[in-house]
Chains A and B, each alone.
Chain A
Amino acid sequence: MRFDSTGFLALLRREVLRFLRRPRNTFLPPFITNVLYFSVFGVILGERINEIAGVPYILFILPGLVVLGAISNAFENTSFNIFHGRWNRYIEEVLTSPLSYQTMVGAYVLAAAIRGAIVGILIALIGAFFTAVGVVQPLYLVAFGVVITTLFASLGVIAGLWADDFDDLTMLNQFILRPLVFFGGVFYSLNELPETVQQVSLLNPMIYMVNGVRYGFLGVSEVDPNASLAVLSALTVAVLGLDIALFQRGYGLTD
């Protein structure tokens, strides 16, 4: 049976409408949070901090905040929606349909990536309100944007299938995702760290994402953007493959 575009679009539409129709839950929180970030870290503290990598501090942190917002929302969308669907069993509407497992995963992931991208753009626009924001490498920015939102949307699928409780999702977000992002070079330059800590930091995948997006916006990066993009793309494909395999096996979905 060939790819079912009608089914794919139906599920995609449902998942997109789900976040578009509750902006108070999906777009208002990152809006407020990032206004606060830019006000406090960018304006109030930023004026007391020297340029980093040749750019003002407020501009230096902008790409990291875009990454933080984009990946958090992409991750939350798939993880919450899949888990909530399992919890209330309405995911069975999808599971009992003739959609292929690839189509199911594809629609969930794309919807979440779209939400992540919208939040990322929203944060960039908030940044533009505080300072002049340019895009030096637009293709890299788009490429990194697509890859990191897709990657975290795909990771969210695993979380949504794995979680037994809402607390599990909160734990993943608060105790794993956010620390990785905060130690991922959002607010500081790797060069300011001691050599050993720098080396350890390179194990954090967020470093490559933040620097990749920073390269798109500012044209500066502390790691090779091409290598980062290649590794992140490969990781995204691998996680997507794992998502599909888990759906096929019925992990968290069937008895």
Chain B
Amino acid sequence: MESAIEIRDLRKSYGDVQALDGVDLTVPEGSFFGLLGPNGAGKTTFINVLVGLVRGTDGDARVFGHDVQEEYREVRDRIGLAPQEFNVDRFFPIREVLEHKAGYHGIPKARASERTEEVLKRVGIYDKRDTRFDWLSGGMKRRFMLARALITEPDLLILDEPTAGVDVQLRHELWETIIDLNQRGTTILLTTHYIEEAERLCDEVAILDSGRVLDVASPEELMDRGTDDVVVQLREEPTAVPDFAALDERVDAVELDGTRLVVTARQGGLVAPDVVRRLDDAGHEIVDLEIQRTSLEEVFVEMTRAGEGRATPEVSSQ
């Protein structure tokens, strides 16, 4: 399968500040790819290199096989970008802003008008088509940013914090739209502070910190690297429990508090049956069992902790 994005040793410096420090990354075509990182990690710089708003200092950046500088027209024709900052022409009604954008991509006026209607309906702000951007509510502005990115029917949709500051309902609506696009074959590159967003949506995520890619894996794989809690509620308080840590190397800790036993282990879902069996064998009656999985957020914080001081971790969940 062709790579939607192929990055090799990409560097960008601003004076002494190394915004991108040798980034290597491959985003497969058709994937839903997340880019996670604390503030200042280089996420927006990375995106801006792809669309030509930032010039890399060194390295190679390709989109669908085209060099982002040498073949910028081919690259930009295939990208739809919804940036975090509102960079919209506020002089024209939003309908015309979309028609203009479509025109820059070579879409004839009649078709551009049709597409404008379609995308405004799709994101639910068609009745605001003759309104200027400034007069839209915050949520509508976010919807419009998505509409503008979609107007050219891009093969690669880049969403930089697309749900920042929007309410839960709208966030879910936007997710549905994006998922639908991905299922129809559009490659999605998503940056987000909402870890749950990446956990739910992305096939793969790259953790970026201080201009470097720390890891690339699926959210599941990353979460497997964290520790889960297997919480067992016993009928009676035991005098002793099996030494799970000695019996299974995946177990990190065992804590007994009255009738409540907590086994902290990697891959808790796989460890839990063993815990239950051993407790049963030892004659303990189990009344409740719960596996508290580690979150991607916890893994993320752990991975970027080493970068503290260089950047400011700022993650939030809903």
Q: Which residue of B lies closest to A14 (CB)?
A: B100
- Contact across chains for B92 and A98 when beta carbons are under 8 A apart: no
Give Cα A7–Cα B77 distance, bound, in whole angstroms: 11
In B68-94, the 8 Å CB interface with A consists of 72-74, 76-77, 79, 81, 83, 85, 87-92
Interface residues in chain A, defined as those with a beta carbon under 8 Å from any beta carbon in chain B? 1, 4, 6-7, 9-11, 13-14, 17-18, 21, 85, 88-90, 92-100, 250, 254-255
Given B87, B108, B112, which contacts A88 in the complex, CB threshold below 8 Å? B87
The answer to whether B284 has its CB under 8 Å from any CB of chain A is: no
The answer to whether B51 has its CB under 8 Å from any CB of chain A is: yes
Contacts of B102 in A (CB 8 A): 10
Give Cα A14–Cα B45 distance, bound, in whole angstroms: 29
Min distance, Cβ B183 to any Cβ of chain A, angstroms:
25
Contacts of A100 in B (CB 8 A): 73
Give Cα A222–Cα B103 distance, bound, in whole angstroms: 46
Q: Which residue of B lies closest to A100 (CB)?
A: B73
- Contact across chains for A98 and B106 when beta carbons are under 8 A apart: yes
Contact string, B103-123, partner A, CB cutoff 8 A, digits 1/0?
111111100100000000000
The answer to whether B7 has its CB under 8 Å from any CB of chain A is: no
- Contact across chains for B89 and A7 when beta carbons are under 8 A apart: no
Give Cα A91–Cα B14 distance, bound, in whole angstroms: 22
Give 23 A-B contacts (CB < 8 Å), ordered by A residue.
Answer: A1-B73, A7-B104, A10-B100, A10-B102, A10-B104, A10-B112, A14-B96, A17-B96, A21-B91, A88-B89, A88-B90, A90-B89, A93-B88, A93-B89, A93-B101, A96-B76, A96-B81, A97-B105, A98-B73, A98-B105, A100-B73, A255-B14, A255-B45
- Contact across chains for A6 and B103 when beta carbons are under 8 A apart: yes
Contacts of A92 in B (CB 8 A): 53, 83, 87
Contacts of B54 in A (CB 8 A): 254-255
Contacts of B104 in A (CB 8 A): 7, 10-11, 93-94, 97-99
The answer to whether B97 has its CB under 8 Å from any CB of chain A is: yes
> Which 6 pairs, one residue from A and one from B, show the smallest C-beta to C-beta distance?
A10-B103, A97-B104, A89-B87, A98-B77, A90-B89, A98-B73
Give Cα A94–Cα B103 distance, bound, in whole angstroms: 10
Give Cα A9–Cα B96 distance, bound, in whole angstroms: 14
Min distance, Cβ B49 to any Cβ of chain A, angstroms:
9
Min distance, Cβ B108 to any Cβ of chain A, angstroms:
6
The answer to whether B182 has its CB under 8 Å from any CB of chain A is: no
Give Cα A98–Cα B79 distance, bound, in whole angstroms: 9
- Given known A6-B108, A17-B92, contact A98–B97 (CB-CB < 8 A): no
Contacts of A11 in B (CB 8 A): 100, 103-104
Give Cα A208–Cα B99 distance, bound, in whole angstroms: 42
The answer to whether B293 has its CB under 8 Å from any CB of chain A is: no
Given A1, A7, A93, A96, which contacts B79 in the complex, CB threshold below 8 Å? A96
Contacts of B108 in A (CB 8 A): 6
The answer to whether B52 has its CB under 8 Å from any CB of chain A is: yes
Min distance, Cβ A102 to any Cβ of chain B, angstroms:
11
Q: Which residue of A lies closest to B158 (CB)?
A: A96
- Contact across chains for A96 and B52 when beta carbons are under 8 A apart: yes
- Given known A96-B53, A254-B55, A255-B14, contact A9–B103 (CB-CB < 8 A): yes
